[in-house]
Amino acid sequence: MADEDEPSRHRSVPSSRIGRLGGFTRLAGGLAGGVISEGARRLASGERPRLDQLLLTPANARRLTDRLAHLRGAAMKLGQMISMDAGDVLPPELAEILARLRERADFMPPRQLDKVLAEEWGKDWRRQFRRFEPRPIAAASIGQVHRAMTPDGRMLAIKVQYPGVARSIDSDVDNVASLLKLTGLLPPELDIAPLLAAAKEQLREEADYLREGRMIVRFARMVEGREEFAVPELVEELTTPRVLAMTYEEGSPIETLAGEGQSLRDETFAHLVELVARELFDSRLMQTDPNFANYRWQAKTGRIVLLDFGAAREVSQGISQDYRRLVEAGLREDREAVLEAAVEAGFVNPRALERHPEAMRRAVDIVVTQMASAEKLDFGNRAFVPEIRDTVMPIARDRESWHLPPAETLFVQRKVSGTALLGARLGARVDVRGIVERVLAETA
Cα–Cα separations (whole angstroms), residue 421 to 47, 65, 70, 378: 39, 22, 26, 12
Q: Which of 413, 419, 422 is nearest to 86 (CA)?
A: 413
Q: Calculate the dihedral angle through the C-alpha atoms of 255, 259, 261, 267, rounding to the nearest 10 degrees.
A: 0
How far apart are the C-alpha atoms of 308 and 428, rounded to whole Å? 23
- Beta-sheet pairing, 155-161 with 243-247: antiparallel
How far apart are the C-alpha atoms of 329 and 27, rounded to whole Å? 48
Give the model's pLDDT for residue 147: 97
Please, how many CA atoms are within 13 Å of residue 19, restricted to the half-sphere of its CB?
A: 13
Angle of CA points 122, 124, 130, to nearest 5°: 125
User: pTM value?
Assistant: 0.78
Give the model's pLDDT for residue 50: 40
How far apart are the C-alpha atoms of 381 and 384, rounded to whole Å? 8
CATH number attached to the domain at 109-161+208-248: 3.30.200.20
Q: Where are the domains of the chain?
A: 17-104+170-186, 109-161+208-248, 252-444
- pLDDT tens for each residue of the chain, 444 residues long: 444 434 345 655 544 545 544 444 554 444 444 433 433 343 445 444 343 443 445 555 555 655 565 555 555 565 555 554 444 445 555 556 555 555 555 688 899 999 999 999 999 999 999 999 999 998 777 889 999 999 999 999 999 998 888 887 887 777 777 766 665 655 565 566 776 777 788 788 889 999 999 999 999 999 999 999 999 999 999 999 999 999 999 999 999 999 999 999 999 999 999 999 999 999 999 999 888 889 999 999 999 999 999 989 999 999 999 999 999 999 999 999 999 999 988 888 888 889 999 999 999 999 899 888 889 999 998 888 788 888 888 887 777 777 667 778 878 888 998 899 899 999 999 999 999 999 999 998
Angle of CA points 337, 342, 345, to nearest 5°: 120
398 is a catalytic site residue: no
Give the model's pLDDT for residue 284: 97
Q: What is the DSSP string of 144-207?
A: EEEEEE-TT--EEEEEEEPTTTGGGHHHHHHHHHHHHHHHT-S-TT---HHHHHHHHHHHHHHT
Options 266, 289, 308, 322, the catalytic residue: 289
How far apart are the C-alpha atoms of 30 and 20, rounded to whole Å? 15
Coil, strand or helix at 101: coil
How far apart are the C-alpha atoms of 220 and 145, rounded to whole Å? 20
